[in-house]
Structure 1
Amino acid sequence: MNPVSFTQANLGMLLWAALIAASFFAAAQVSQAIDPVLLTALRLLFSALMFVPLLWFQGAAAPTRAGLGAHAVLGLLLALYFGSLFEALRYTSAVNTGTLFTLVPLLTLAFEGWLLPGGSQQRRLLPMLVAGAGALLLVLKGGAPGQLPSLYAMAVYALGCLAMAAYSPLSQRFKARSLQGRSPAAMTFWNMLFGALFLFAASLVSGGWRSAALLGSNDLLWLLYLALFATLATFWLLHRAIGVIAPSTVISYIYLSTLFLTLFHWLWLGQRPLLGEGLGALLVALGMFGLVRGSRPGAAMA
């Protein structure tokens, strides 16, 4: 049984949305000369190691063989997502990756219908489309006329988005079986540890590990920030909410991330709101209100 209430889970996901919004810009600050696979491996490893004292204090038991297999699958999905993000940011902007990420909730809804049948997916489709349309209005702005993003970058990141879309529904399915009773901290630790191992292995094969010599103090600081706030905290909040809120609604909080990014440009950078942005903000608010209402405990539990 998840120890948090429906309201607590949603408040946690509000914080998740704010941290995700900041992560797009933080990831772009890391030197592009360093292999993105190695960067992601270090990021996941740093995040996992931060959970070791908590797990030791809690006396968490080691997972079973079936549980290790489930964690390995989820870790592979994390590796695919984060690796694709760093690789895509070499060739396109944080705005373009943020735009493509708005499709993840719809893809999650599709995976949820496949992996967790019998839910209320149809009832959440319309508010999700409304919120998604609003998010697109918020992020599809400011580009130069006729400037298209790199097709390679978008293809790579699309694969990562598919992996992320499968993560929440598959995690909930595993929690009902081989990972039953696992805490959010244990889920996050093992998933990230396996993700880091997969990426370190890929870095050894590709030779990307050699770029570790190019890591500067500024890169390490940004990696530690990403590990603590954009990875460890967000995935702990994600696992805290999964099972209390429907998986597709959990990941739909990314729409609020686009709203937070826009508010940052309005309030901090002093940019004047555009008409399309105002409409987008309204649609995101209405869509998320409908999604949260449609994901009350009776509808969210599989």
Structure 2
Amino acid sequence: MKTTGFAAAHAGMLLWALLIAASFSAAAQVSQAIDPVLLTGLRLLLCALVFLPLLLLNGGISLTGRALLGHSVLGLLLALYFGSLFEALRYTSAVNTGTMFTLVPLLTLVFEAVLTPDSQLRQRVLPVLIAATGAVLLILKGTAPGEFPSLYALTVYGIGCLAMALYAPLSQRLKASSLKGRGPATMTFWNMLSGAMFLLTFCGLSGGWRSASLLTLKDFYWLLYLALFATLATFWLLHRAIGVIAPSAVISYIYLSTLLITLFHWLWLRQSPLPLEIAGALLVGCGMLALLWSSRRSTSASGQASANR
């Protein structure tokens, strides 16, 4: 593995964190009267359509039965996550779902240990825990006393978090078998298309498709922005990094997004930092630096092992 590939993957994930952080403000611009599951299904479908011409030119549109099954499973994981998030938000706050999401990189470590065992796995546990603790402090700064999620919301979103945690390690595992040789663009296209089909089918059965009549031109523009930058670009960067960086390290960049949102509130909105926020920001920064260092050591060790062979 080349050092340039390692550096480029991390640089791409830095951009990923920035795009994720910016997506929350953009998503708020879309009318709340439109069914959120429908919006997400349309976002994924738009992403797939953007990549379609590229795949037609490069021959990435062909599929074997095993490859179709692999992409369908990964698409279902995306649909499960987004579907569970919207269902949970009907019964609990964004603060609670955000706090639960901090468990995803830790769960990814568990799936990574099962699906893609790595001798350097233990070195990533402490950095992820440090960053997760910091992210929790940043998210909980505005939590009202006694604000706890319902058991139903906890269960539903817990299933979604398990699906998202499984996504990166399973992608890496399938790239070594049924999806071998498929690049980031091909992976993004087929996974997004599969996820869109699952979500839009659900909307067809639940009646959520009727809210499509409420879409305005402004909503469409913001939806296009979210599809291109908050979904297509981020998942392409994610698949570009998977295999170069460990899945748990890749998904841990979500903690950096939480830190960037907090910095935006401090610097742009001129909000005074709270002691809890400062402590959380320091922990996220330390955890991400330690994670970067451990993943670099892992890369160097792998390169040395290959040279010795």
The answer to whether TM tops 0.5 is yes
Aligned to 2:40: 40
Q: What aligned pairs does 1:15-94 form with structure 2 within 5 A after superposition?
A: 15-94=15-94
Aligned to 2:171: 171
User: Would you say the 8 A contact 1:119–1:299 is kept in 2?
Assistant: no
Aligned to 1:227: 227
The aligned amino acid for 2:87 is E
User: Would you say the 8 A contact 2:96–2:148 is kept in 1?
Assistant: no
Aligned to 2:269: 269
Percent identical residues: 69
Label 1:213 to 1:154 Cα distance change in 2 as closer, same or farther (>3 A). farther
Mean alpha-carbon deviation: is it higher for 156-165 or for 178-187? Answer: 156-165
Aligned to 1:287: 287
Aligned to 1:162: 162
Aligned to 1:197: 197
Distance 1:169 1:270 in 2: 39
User: Would you say the 8 A contact 1:18–1:257 is kept in 2?
Assistant: yes
Aligned to 1:146: 146
Aligned to 1:131: 131
CA displacement at 1:160 relative to structure 2: 1.6
Classify the secondary structure of the residue corresponding to 2:62. Answer: coil
Distance 2:28 2:148 in 1: 19
Distance 1:210 1:299 in 2: 55
Label 1:228 to 1:300 Cα distance change in 2 as closer, same or farther (>3 A). farther
Equivalent pairs counted in the alignment come to: 301
Label 1:224 to 1:153 Cα distance change in 2 as closer, same or farther (>3 A). farther
CA displacement at 1:155 relative to structure 2: 3.5
Distance 1:246 1:183 in 2: 17
CA displacement at 1:85 relative to structure 2: 2.8
Give the TM-score of the pair, scaled to structure 1. 0.92
Distance 2:32 2:153 in 1: 14
1:86-122: CA deviations, max 9, x gaps? 3344454444332221111001001101111244221
Distance 2:243 2:159 in 1: 25
Mean alpha-carbon deviation: is it higher for 180-189 or for 269-278? Answer: 269-278
Classify the secondary structure of the residue corresponding to 2:60. Answer: coil
Alpha-carbon RMSD? 2.2
CA displacement at 1:299 relative to structure 2: 6.2
CA displacement at 1:77 relative to structure 2: 0.6
Mean alpha-carbon deviation: is it higher for 168-177 or for 223-232? Answer: 223-232
Distance 2:103 2:51 in 1: 30
The aligned amino acid for 1:103 is L
Distance 2:3 2:228 in 1: 23
Classify the secondary structure of the residue corresponding to 1:289. Answer: helix
Distance 1:279 1:62 in 2: 50
Label 1:28 to 1:87 Cα distance change in 2 as closer, same or farther (>3 A). farther
Aligned to 2:306: none
The aligned amino acid for 1:64 is T
User: Would you say the 8 A contact 1:131–1:283 is kept in 2?
Assistant: yes
Distance 2:284 2:90 in 1: 29
User: Would you say the 8 A contact 1:128–1:291 is kept in 2?
Assistant: yes
Distance 2:156 2:223 in 1: 21
Matched, 1:248 2:248: yes
What residue ranges of structure 2 are gaps of 5+ in the alignment?
Answer: 304-309
The aligned amino acid for 2:259 is L
Label 1:136 to 1:144 Cα distance change in 2 as closer, same or farther (>3 A). same
Label 1:71 to 1:178 Cα distance change in 2 as closer, same or farther (>3 A). same
CA displacement at 1:187 relative to structure 2: 0.3
Label 1:19 to 1:150 Cα distance change in 2 as closer, same or farther (>3 A). farther
Classify the secondary structure of the residue corresponding to 1:50. Answer: helix
User: Would you say the 8 A contact 1:246–1:300 is kept in 2?
Assistant: no
The aligned amino acid for 1:220 is F
Distance 2:91 2:25 in 1: 15
